[in-house]
């Protein structure tokens, strides 16, 4: 059997990683500023992570959600404390799309309403409900109907109010920072007004922090820059450093009922242990502060003389969620960074390079990237 070919693959196969370094099967070394798509939050093969996950596997890898699991309770308590959402509760699942599915389902059960408001260029995942609120018709099949969804432009509060005032919306779903769209940060004032309108019209505010959250931007969640609280927050990616997990953080106003949400694998022993190891490392190594500091380093390095670097038309993002809008004459730069300079980076379409490195990245590694960047872009 061959693989179902849905990805464009680079002809590179990493077989080993340590921190922000990867080695391919021929022993070539690379630096990872992509983090496997914002997933590797505490670096590859961190010794504490490896120890905790291996020891848990040797003890008990999995049992079902029909029994007590104190690892889930520990994770909820730790996550509540570090995120500032300790009065909320946690539902564990396996991925980002699944977290969003469950968040929207909970909002719909709670309000008894069917509609969702989403934003132009949004990405919330590829499963049926998540793709219905994703503004990309190319990845939505005829089966993934979005008849209950309306899209409005980001930062357009009048368009939001026009819809919410109908009283038909269960929820508004919004990314803390739009990632796949090319790194677009919603205005703080818009987020505060959005919060006010959701409360006014009895609609739940769902913050998708799957890419923008978990310390990457120098706070635990990106929406916390605007000082608001969401009714539901979804998280995944960096949560367990590559072990599949998703989390739905749910307001105490939403009462759980039997049958509302459920899962076989979600919150299993290995996933929870991996997530607890991530939180240990994040706290012990002050990684949220490091994300802020290295993020500031990149911002200044890409703004020599206060203006964007000559190869850029714009620098967007916060902390270590960075979108580099490349000038047309530098197209192909991402491939050159990989094949000539051995730096993995992400992309959003052909003209945006995304930097989503591990939160452990050092200033030395960031400087080495800037040296490569300058080598390739000097004219």
Distance in Å, CB of 88 to ligand PLP, minimum: 19
Site residues for ligand PLP, 247-286, by CB under 6 A, read none
Residue closer to ligand PLP, measured from CB, 218 or 247: 247
Distance CA 17, CA 51 (A): 16
Distance in Å, CB of 136 to ligand PLP, minimum: 12
Taking CB under 6 A as the rule, does residue 321 contact ligand PLP? no
The residue assigned the tokens 């790194």 is 183
Residue in 36, 125, 218, 242 binding ligand PLP, rule: CB under 6 A: 125
Taking CB under 6 A as the rule, does residue 210 contact ligand PLP? yes
Residue closer to ligand PLP, measured from CB, 152 or 206: 206
Distance CA 68, CA 249 (A): 19
CB-CB contact of 322 with 177 (8 Å): no
Residue closer to ligand PLP, measured from CB, 69 or 211: 211
Taking CB under 6 A as the rule, does residue 232 contact ligand PLP? no
Residue closer to ligand PLP, measured from CB, 119 or 123: 123
Distance in Å, CB of 215 to ligand PLP, minimum: 16
Contact stretch for ligand PLP (CB under 6 A) within 113-121, 194-202, 203-211, 296-304? 203-211
Residues in Cβ contact with 247 at an 8 Å cutoff, skipping those fewer than 6 apart:
79, 90, 91, 92, 93, 99, 234, 235, 236, 239
The DSSP element (H or E) to which 26 belongs, if any, is: none
Residue closer to ligand PLP, measured from CB, 214 or 298: 214
Residue in 20, 111, 211, 268 binding ligand PLP, rule: CB under 6 A: 211
Where are the alpha helices (H) located in the chain, listed in sequence order?
Answer: 35-38, 47-59, 70-83, 96-111, 128-132, 157-164, 188-200, 269-284, 287-301, 333-339, 363-377
What number of helices (H) and strands (E) belong to the chain? 11, 15
Site residues for ligand PLP, 59-118, by CB under 6 A, read 95-97, 100
Distance CA 134, CA 126 (A): 8
The DSSP element (H or E) to which 316 belongs, if any, is: strand 312-318
Taking CB under 6 A as the rule, does residue 39 contact ligand PLP? no
Distance in Å, CB of 232 to ligand PLP, minimum: 13
Taking CB under 6 A as the rule, does residue 175 contact ligand PLP? yes
| Both structure tokens of 50 | 């490896």
**By rule CB under 6 A, what string of x and - marks binding of each residue 128-167 to ligand PLP?**
----------------------------------------
Residue nearest to ligand PLP (CB): 96
Taking CB under 6 A as the rule, does residue 31 contact ligand PLP? no
3-state secondary structure of 17: strand
Distance CA 292, CA 17 (A): 24
Distance CA 150, CA 143 (A): 17
Taking CB under 6 A as the rule, does residue 236 contact ligand PLP? yes
3-state secondary structure of 38: helix
Contact stretch for ligand PLP (CB under 6 A) within 44-52, 75-83, 84-92, 122-130? 122-130
| Both structure tokens of 3 | 């693989």
Interface ranges with ligand PLP (CB under 6 A): 95-97, 100, 123-125, 175, 179-180, 208, 210-211, 236
């Amino acid at each position: 059997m061959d693989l179902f070919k849905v990805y464009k693959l680079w002809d590179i196969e990493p077989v080993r990683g340590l921190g922000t370094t990867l080695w391919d099967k021929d022993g070539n070394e690379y630096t990872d500023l992509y983090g496997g798509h914002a997933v590797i939050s505490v670096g590859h093969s961190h010794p504490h992570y490896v120890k905790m996950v291996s020891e848990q596997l040797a003890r008990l890898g999995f049992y079902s959600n029909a029994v007590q699991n104190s690892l889930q309770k520990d994770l909820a308590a730790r996550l509540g404390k570090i995120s500032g959402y300790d009065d909320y509760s946690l539902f564990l699942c396996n991925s980002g799309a699944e977290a969003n599915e469950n968040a929207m389902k909970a909002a719909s059960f709670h309000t008894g309403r069917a509609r969702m408001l989403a934003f132009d260029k949004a990405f919330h995942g590829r499963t049926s409900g998540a793709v219905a609120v994703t503004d990309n018709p190319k990845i939505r099949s005829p089966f993934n109907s979005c008849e209950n969804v309306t899209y409005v432009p980001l930062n357009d509060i009048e368009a939001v109010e026009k819809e919410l005032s109908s009283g038909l919306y269960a929820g508004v779903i919004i990314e803390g920072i739009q990632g796949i769209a090319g790194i677009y940060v919603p205005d703080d004032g818009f987020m505060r007004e959005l919060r006010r309108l959701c409360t006014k019209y009895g609609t739940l505010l769902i913050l998708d922090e799957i890419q923008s959250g978990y310390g990457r931007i120098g706070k635990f969640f990106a929406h916390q820059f605007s000082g608001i609280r969401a009714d539901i927050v979804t998280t995944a990616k960096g949560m367990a450093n590559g072990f599949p997990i998703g989390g739905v953080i749910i307001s105490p106003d939403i009462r759980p009922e039997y049958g509302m949400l459920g899962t076989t694998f979600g919150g299993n022993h290995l996933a929870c242990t991996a997530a607890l190891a991530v939180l240990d490392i994040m706290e012990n190594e002050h990684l949220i502060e490091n994300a802020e500091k290295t993020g500031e380093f990149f911002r200044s390095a890409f703004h020599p003389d206060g203006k964007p670097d000559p190869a850029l038309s714009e620098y967007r993002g916060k902390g270590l969620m960075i979108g580099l809008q490349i000038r047309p004459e530098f197209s192909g730069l991402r491939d050159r960074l990989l094949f000539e300079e051995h730096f993995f980076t992400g992309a959003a379409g052909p003209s945006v390079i995304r930097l989503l490195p591990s939160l452990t990245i050092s200033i030395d590694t960031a400087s080495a990237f800037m040296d490569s960047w300058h080598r390739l872009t000097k004219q």
